[in-house]
Structure 1
Amino acid sequence: MRIETERLIIRNFEMRDRDDLGEYMLQRVDKVFEGYPDFNEDKIEDEIKYRCGSEEFFAVELKDEHKVIGNIYLGIRDFNSKELGYVLNENYHLKGYGSEAAKAVVQWAFSQGVHRVFAECTPLNIYSWKTMEKIGLKREAELRQNVSFHKDEAGNPIYWDTYVYGALSTDTM
């Protein structure tokens, strides 16, 4: 897959993206929203290999710098649906890259015959749900305590609510 927008190229991962992937994944280790507490330098090689072979992860490359600044996740789900996710290098936040990439990928998915695209995030992740709204997804539900990315001091899961956003191929975006 290859999509070009004004500032970005969204494409399959390549082995040459290893260092850029490692840079932004290492930023995610201790994050509140979908942290990767066990990710470290030793896991970068396996992660880039996995993503190079994946049909669900796509690199977001900044055209001007030829640098991968994040990824789009387009997970394969039942009923001709895809689940959208996105992660950006912290050094490129609040510049509109996330919404530019996500909107392009949603439009591409619909052009490929996908019926529905949906995404979830905690109500506390304001930037994420604002991005979903900006690209035309509609809030469909709030699910109570349905995800857990972290544990408390006793090792028990900490559950979060999530908003569910979605769009249909027949929606105008």
Structure 2
Amino acid sequence: MRIETDELIIRNFELRDEKDLCEYMLQRVNAEFEAYPDFSCKKAKKEIEYRAQSDEFYAIELKKENKVIGNIYLGNRSFNSRELGYVLNVNYQHKGFGSSASKAVIDYMFNQGVHRIYAECAPQNAPSWKLMEKIGMIREAHFRKNVSFHQDEKGQPIYWDTYVYALLNPYNEI
């Protein structure tokens, strides 16, 4: 896949993206939401090889810098649906890149015939659900204590709620 906006290129990952991937993934090691505590630059080589072969992870490249500033996740789900996710380098957040990339891939996927695209986030993750609302997604659900990415001091999972947002393909509506 390759999609271009005025400022971005959304494309398959390439092995040359390893340094940029390592940079923004290291920012996620202690992230409050969906942390990657065991990520290291040593693991970046294996991760970039996986992502370069994946049909679910796509690089977000900033044209003017020729730099991968994050990724879009489009998980293949049942019933011709995709799960949308996004991660941006903290130095490029709050500049409209996440919403621009998300809108572009949603439009692309709908033109490919995908029926539904949804995304989930914690209610406390206001930047994420505000992005979803900004791009027109509708909040469909509030699941209570259904995910865990962290453990307490005893090693027990810490659960929190999630919001579910979605869009239906407008080209398929009757």
Runs of 4+ in 1 over 6 A off after TM superposition: none
CA distance in 1, matches of 2:100, 2:14: 21
Structure 2 counterpart SS, 1:64: helix
CA distance in 2, matches of 1:41, 1:99: 28
CA distance in 1, matches of 2:135, 2:107: 10
Matches within 5 A, 1:63-102: 63-102=63-102
CA distance in 1, matches of 2:70, 2:77: 22
Matched, 1:125 2:97: no
CA distance in 2, matches of 1:42, 1:14: 17
1:159 deviation in Å?
0.4
Which residue number corresponds to residue 47 of structure 2?
47
CA distance in 1, matches of 2:6, 2:13: 20
CA distance in 1, matches of 2:3, 2:36: 28
Matched, 1:3 2:3: yes
**Alpha-carbon deviations, 1:37-83, whole Å to 9, x = none?**
11112100000000000000000000100000000000000000000
The gaps in structure 1 that reach 5 residues or longer are: none
Which residue number corresponds to residue 158 of structure 1?
158
Name the count of aligned residue pairs.
Answer: 172
CA distance in 2, matches of 1:125, 1:169: 26
User: Partner amino acid for 2:41?
Assistant: E
Which residue number corresponds to residue 62 of structure 1?
62
CA RMSD, 1 decimal? 1.1
1:91 deviation in Å?
0.5
Return the TM-score normalized by structure 1: 0.98
Which residue number corresponds to residue 112 of structure 1?
112
User: Partner amino acid for 2:147?
Assistant: V
CA distance in 2, matches of 1:7, 1:146: 36
The gaps in structure 2 that reach 5 residues or longer are: none
CA distance in 2, matches of 1:41, 1:152: 26
Which residue number corresponds to residue 24 of structure 1?
24
Return the TM-score normalized by structure 2: 0.97
Identity over aligned residues, as a percent?
A: 66
CA distance in 1, matches of 2:134, 2:63: 22
**Alpha-carbon deviations, 1:95-124, whole Å to 9, x = none?**
010000001011111000000000000000
CA distance in 2, matches of 1:161, 1:93: 24
Structure 2 counterpart SS, 1:3: strand
Which residue number corresponds to residue 142 of structure 2?
142
CA distance in 2, matches of 1:3, 1:13: 13
